[in-house]
Chains A and B, each alone.
Chain A
Amino acid sequence: MDLTGLKWLQQQQQMVSPEFLHILGSDGREELRRVESYLGNNIYDTIDGCISRTSSFQMEPVKNNEDNRVIALRNKRKPEGKTEKREKKKKIKAEDETESSMKGNSNMSNTETSSEFLKQDYIHVRARRGEATDRHSLAERARREKISKKMKCLQDIVPGCNKVTGKAGMLDEIINYVQSLQQQVEFLSMKLSFLNPQLEFHINELSSMMADPRYFPLHQQGSLDYSVINSNQTTSLNALKMETSSSWDVHSQCLCNNLRTDSVSSFFSLK
């Protein structure tokens, strides 16, 4: 396996995603596989292999190894393109360096720590530009990226967040928004408690409507059985519309229609 192939991989800016692999075609995939086998299929082996290759390497404290493995594991399970790429770079570059020389890494942008690295004989990792290569800081960085990604999602959800920049301002907005929503709910429930006696009539109607399996076919858990609804669509809906005089059902359905946005569905699936 020649080094040119390795360098080609290094220069790839794209994420190693399944789509990318598809674009690569079978040849590219072959090459990736070859690279992986060259470096040792197992990430653990690779890291250990790197350590064992160079005699001057100290064994790092076990904890760091664990962290790295955890990170590697995490990256392996969920191939988030960038972090995986970085891992690959780590592996590839580590091998590269053991083959060439281990002297001053010119690509290490953090010059202060580079000297420290040489002294401590850790695995030399080529980091991205302008970033420290400490194992801890890599983990930190991955964590921070996740957090900022989530903040971006929150920005879409909370109205008025676009104008504010910076995490603190956004957090302020989010806090205010959640507080205002909670206050609204409290206020509405207070209103409801005052109105409760008057709810009799409508509630009777609504609850009888709800209990009727024709109009609101329920699962065991109490959620609507949509399969039944879909099949008896026309008949049940028309009958429903005719019978009920309250506008509640139509109300909520129109509202539900309006609510259907991408961000909602994305957030409900966000774990």
Chain B
Amino acid sequence: MERQIINKKKRVFSVEPNKIPPSEVFTRKYTSLLVPALKKLNMNKNSSQVNQLTVKHEVDMALALSAQEFAWSRFLLQKLSSSNNPTTTTSSSSNGIRIQERSGKEGGHEDGEREEKLRELQKLLPGGEEMNVEEMLGEIGNYIKCLELQTIALKSIVQDTT
């Protein structure tokens, strides 16, 4: 059993040192950011309860920092840092790029539905409202993967403590 685990560990590092699976990079970054942050939180607020919001904040921050190559992470960072200082005005663009389908072929009904859904999707993605459709669809894929990895990392941290 021990040997298997060691072998698995060995397998983690690929033969080509440059080709690191990005999922691994992300999870390592994420956990290495989150855990010390939580520890710091714990130390700072010794006796008082750790606020749920602050934990959420740290969680989001860790997510944004560990996926910095994506557009949505930048938006998330901006939102988080702006929420820290409520006095600063957020520089959100007033003219967000709206989804417009100019096709004359498809029925108006279908289009309206699809537009609505795309708009909803935009709202879910941080910064999605300021991207156009193609960009957003690509970013959503990254975002979903990062969310999945994040849940896995969080689960393993929580599991470890119970």
Q: List 21 A-B contacts (CB under 8 A).
A: A150-B141, A154-B140, A154-B144, A157-B144, A171-B118, A185-B59, A192-B157, A192-B158, A193-B50, A193-B51, A195-B158, A200-B42, A222-B32, A241-B5, A241-B9, A252-B152, A255-B152, A256-B23, A259-B21, A265-B22, A267-B142
Q: 19 other contacts beyond A181-B148, A246-B160, A248-B156, with CB at 8 A cut-off?
A: A151-B137, A157-B144, A172-B117, A181-B147, A188-B154, A190-B52, A190-B55, A199-B42, A202-B160, A224-B25, A253-B8, A254-B8, A255-B27, A255-B152, A257-B11, A259-B152, A260-B23, A265-B21, A268-B142
Smallest Cβ distance from B143 to chain A, in angstroms?
A: 7
How many angstroms between the C-alpha atoms of A147 and B140 in the bound complex? 13
- Chain A residues with CB under 8 Å of B156's CB are 248, 251-252, 255
How many angstroms between the C-alpha atoms of A181 and B159 in the bound complex? 18
Given A182-B147, A204-B39; A226-B17 close (CB under 8 Å): yes
How many angstroms between the C-alpha atoms of A154 and B142 in the bound complex? 10
Which chain A residue shows the least CB distance to B52?
A193
A177 x B144 contact (CB < 8 A): yes
B39 x A167 contact (CB < 8 A): no
Which chain A residue shows the least CB distance to B11?
A257
B38 x A196 contact (CB < 8 A): yes
Query: Is A175 an interface residue, CB under 8 A from the partner?
Result: yes
Smallest Cβ distance from B153 to chain A, in angstroms?
A: 7
How many angstroms between the C-alpha atoms of A68 and B43 in the bound complex? 61
How many angstroms between the C-alpha atoms of A137 and B151 in the bound complex? 43
How many angstroms between the C-alpha atoms of A202 and B148 in the bound complex? 24
From B27, B38, B103, B120, A192 is in contact (CB under 8 Å) with B38
A193 x B36 contact (CB < 8 A): no
How many angstroms between the C-alpha atoms of A191 and B17 in the bound complex? 37
Query: Is A184 an interface residue, CB under 8 A from the partner?
Result: yes
- Chain B residues with CB under 8 Å of A269's CB are 22
How many angstroms between the C-alpha atoms of A191 and B154 in the bound complex? 10
- Chain A interface size, as a band, is 35 or more
Smallest Cβ distance from B50 to chain A, in angstroms?
A: 4
Smallest Cβ distance from A124 to chain B, in angstroms?
A: 21
Smallest Cβ distance from B36 to chain A, in angstroms?
A: 5
Q: Using a CB–CB distance below 8 Å, which chain A residues touch chain B?
A: 136-137, 140, 143-144, 146-147, 150-151, 153-154, 157-158, 167-168, 171-172, 174-175, 177-179, 181-182, 184-186, 188-193, 195-200, 202-204, 206-207, 210, 216, 218, 222-224, 226-227, 229-230, 233-234, 237-238, 241, 246-248, 250-257, 259-260, 264-265, 267-271
How many angstroms between the C-alpha atoms of A151 and B28 in the bound complex? 29
For the complex of A and B, 8 pairs with smallest distance between CB atoms? A268-B22, A193-B55, A171-B117, A188-B154, A150-B137, A181-B147, A203-B39, A193-B52
Q: Which of A144, A195, A246 has the most CB of B within 10 A?
A: A195
How many angstroms between the C-alpha atoms of A140 and B101 in the bound complex? 9
A230 x B142 contact (CB < 8 A): no
- Chain A residues with CB under 8 Å of B27's CB are 252, 255-256, 259
A168 x B56 contact (CB < 8 A): no
B152 x A267 contact (CB < 8 A): no
**B102-115 vs A: 1/0 string, CB under 8 Å?**
11000000100110
Which chain A residue shows the least CB distance to B71?
A271
Given A168-B110, A223-B25, A254-B8; A189-B59 close (CB under 8 Å): yes
